[in-house]
């Protein structure tokens, strides 16, 4: 199968799965947020954000390293799997022990500590998850099946068992158990296809792998800091209710980035193989167009119709409205940053990406220290804009020095078309049309404008199918 056909196949697999998964996840999140109220929802998200740091330390960038190496040389599959599995077994055991000690000394109620301990088991589930193997093999359908399965188990579990604000512990047991079940299933599937997983610790290979993986790990660790630090700092400095309000807005941010995740996973192996400047520009032209096209309408659309989100989450979340509008500005910047960071990582320029991420992390910490105590969730949201802007400056510079070309004109045009289409939809809304219908019409109008002005043509779409 040609590279272009494979990209299309992978995007279709991931897109169908992501639509199903995110549809289920949206229902799950809304259901849990409504049933548990902002306080219970805040406790769960505080625990998830706290545990995320340990998950990232155990991961240490080995996933991305494994994807890159397998994409280049599939014969290295078993060597990479055995080595990474062994390293993560050791790291996850150490991480969970340290995690338990820290939780024991936290100045938090027993309920919060119990939730933390349960969510902490996800350190092991994520450590042994073999999604990265099938991304490297460009078999995205396997990844897609696992993602949908986790979402189905989560949703069925909470609908059957979570019915009261006191069911916070049951909710986290369900999510942790479903992730563990799917991790085990994927391990069994891999063993049936490629044989058993052996504990293999080759010191020379370990050093080679870790040297590159640490840079990758630091990138994702620092990204996690300035993505989840807001929730952690709100959890320590403000109430669980305010944490829950910000968590609702943050969950919308995660949903907004779903298309970028699809595009990154589908294109990453091709980024890794593109070594010449012309090849890089060619693949980036397609990637940027898709990324900016969806990023623009998602950010502008959710900013414009944020009232609809409040309606969905319920009256207890009325304070989330200004927070959502602020984080949508962040989402647009994040799409630009992802457009630069993913190819740079694939081109082994982790150090440049890391420098930009560190700048963003430092900016976020400083911003939160000054803004959260006074402005709470709104301050945390403003901090994300500042941090993503700092990252953008570093990544844009590194990217331009690499390929000497930007696609900003397309982005500006797409933002303008988003503003026009959402503006028309908003006029219909304030004149009595249902907000959700108005949002849908804005989305449709946006794509009509795109095809009308030929920002995407039939020939470009067919380009994915060329051999």
The pLDDT tens digits of the residues spanning 43-59 come to: 998 998 899 889 888 87
- pLDDT score for 5: 57
Residue 95 CB: number of other CB atoms within 10 A?
22
pLDDT higher at 373 or 17: 373
Higher pLDDT, residue 137 or 21: 137
What digits encode the pLDDT tens for the residues 184-217? Answer: 988 888 898 888 888 877 777 777 777 767 766 6
Task: Count H helices and E strands in the chain, helices first.
Answer: 19, 0
118-145 average pLDDT score: 83
Are 209 and 83 spatial neighbours (Cβ–Cβ below 8 Å)?
A: yes
Return the top range by mean pLDDT from 162-166, 232-236, 265-269, 392-396.
Answer: 392-396
| Rounded distance between C-alpha atoms, residue 263 and residue 284, angstroms | 11
pLDDT of 378: 92
Mean pLDDT of 242-248: 86
**pLDDT exceeds cutoff 90 at 440:** yes
What is the pTM assigned to this prediction? Answer: 0.72
* The dihedral sign for the CA sequence 197, 202, 206, 208: negative
Query: In which band, very low, low, confident or very high, does the pLDDT at 464 lie, cut at 50, 70 and 90?
Result: very low
Percent of the chain with pLDDT over 90: 30
Q: Residue 41: which residues within 8 A CB-CB, separation 6 or more?
A: 32, 33, 244, 247, 248
Task: State residue 366's pLDDT score.
Answer: 92
Computed on alpha carbons and rounded to an integer, the radius of gyration of the chain in Å comes to: 22
* Higher per-residue confidence, 322 vs 144: 322
For residue 250, is pLDDT > 90? no
Using a pLDDT cut of 70, give the percent of the chain over it: 90
Alpha-carbon span 144 to 282, nearest angstrom: 27
Biggest distance spanned by C-alpha atoms of the chain: 68
Mean pLDDT in residue range 300-317: 88
Give the pLDDT mean for 329-357: 88
Where does 238-319 have alpha helices with state H? 240-256, 258-273, 277-304, 306-313
Q: Is the pLDDT of residue 437 over 90?
A: yes
Look at phi and psi of residue 239 and say left if phi exceeds 0, alpha if psi is from -120 to 50, else beta. Answer: beta
72/110: higher pLDDT: 110
pLDDT at residue 185, as a whole number: 87
- C-alpha span between 390 and 399 (Å, rounded): 15
Residue 343 has pLDDT above 70, yes or no: yes
Statement: residue 465 has pLDDT above 50: no
Average pLDDT (15-25) is: 67
Q: With 90 as the cut, is the pLDDT of residue 438 above it?
A: yes
Question: Rounded to an integer, what distance in angstroms lies between the CA atom of residue 346 and that of residue 67?
Answer: 10
pLDDT for 466 equals: 46
Closest CA to 304 of 448, 417, 435: 435
pLDDT score at 172: 93
pLDDT of 4 > 70? The answer is: no
pLDDT digits (tens, 9 = 90+) for 67-100: 877 877 777 788 888 888 888 898 999 999 999 9
Q: Return d(Cα 426, Cα 115) in angstroms, integer.
A: 41
Task: Record the tokens describing residue 415, joined without a space.
Answer: 């933002």
Most confident of the following: 3-7, 408-412, 454-458: 408-412
* Average per-residue pLDDT for the chain: 84
Structure-derived torsion over alpha carbons of residues 369, 370, 372, 374, reported in degrees to the nearest 10: 140
- So where are the chain's domains? 3-463
C-alpha 360, offset from chain centre: 17
pLDDT at site 289: 86
The arithmetic mean of pLDDT across residues 301-307, rounded, is: 94
In the predicted model, is pLDDT for residue 128 greater than 80?
Answer: yes
CA-CA distance, 195 to 172, in Å (whole number)?
33
The predicted pLDDT at position 460 comes to 63
């Amino acid at each position: 199968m040609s590279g272009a056909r494979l990209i299309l196949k992978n995007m279709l697999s991931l897109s169908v799965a992501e639509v199903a998964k995110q549809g289920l996840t949206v229902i799950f999140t809304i259901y849990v947020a409504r049933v548990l109220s902002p306080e219970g929802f805040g406790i769960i998200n505080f625990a998830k954000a706290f545990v995320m740091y340990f998950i990232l330390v155990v991961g240490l960038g080995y996933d991305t390293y494994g994807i890159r190496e397998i994409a280049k040389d599939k014969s290295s599959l078993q060597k990479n799997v055995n080595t990474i599995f062994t390293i993560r077994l050791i790291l996850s055991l150490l991480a969970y022990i340290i995690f338990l000690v820290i939780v024991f000394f936290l100045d938090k109620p027993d309920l919060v500590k119990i939730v933390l301990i349960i969510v902490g088991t996800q350190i092991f589930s994520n450590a042994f998850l073999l999604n990265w193997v099938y991304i490297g093999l460009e078999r995205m359908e396997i990844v897609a099946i696992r993602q949908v399965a986790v979402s189905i188990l989560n949703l069925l579990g909470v609908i059957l068992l979570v019915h009261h604000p006191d069911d916070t512990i049951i909710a986290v047991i369900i999510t942790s158990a479903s992730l563990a079940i799917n991790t085990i299933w994927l391990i069994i599937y891999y063993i049936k296809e490629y044989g058993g997983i052996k504990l293999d610790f080759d010191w020379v290979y370990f050093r080679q792998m870790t040297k590159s993986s640490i840079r990758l790990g630091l990138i994702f660790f620092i990204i996690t800091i300035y993505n989840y630090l807001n929730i952690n700092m709100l959890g320590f400095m403000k109430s669980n209710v305010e944490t829950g309000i910000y968590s609702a807005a943050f969950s919308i941010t995660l949903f907004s980035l779903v298309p970028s995740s699809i595009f990154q996973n589908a294109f990453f192996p091709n980024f890794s193989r593109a070594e010449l400047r012309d090849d890089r520009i060619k693949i980036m032209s397609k990637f940027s167009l898709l990324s900016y096209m969806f990023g623009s309408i998602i950010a502008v659309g959710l900013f414009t119709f944020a009232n609809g989100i409040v309606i969905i989450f319920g009256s207890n979340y009325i304070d989330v409205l200004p927070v959502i509008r602020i984080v949508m500005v962040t989402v647009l910047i994040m799409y630009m940053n992802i457009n630069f960071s993913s190819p740079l990582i694939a081109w082994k320029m982790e150090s440049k990406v890391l420098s930009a991420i560190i700048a963003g992390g430092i900016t976020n910490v400083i911003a939160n220290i000054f803004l959260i105590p006074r402005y709470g969730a709104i301050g945390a949201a403003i901090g994300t804009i500042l941090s993503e802007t700092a990252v953008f400056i570093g990544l844009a510079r590194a990217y331009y020095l690499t390929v000497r070309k930007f696609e900003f004109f397309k982005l500006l045009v797409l933002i303008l078309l988003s503003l026009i289409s959402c503006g028309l939809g908003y006029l219909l809304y304030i004149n009595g049309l249902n907000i959700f219908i108005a949002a849908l019409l804005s989305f449709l109008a946006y794509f009509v404008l795109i095809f009308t002005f030929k920002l995407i043509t039939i020939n470009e779409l067919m380009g994915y199918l060329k051999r």
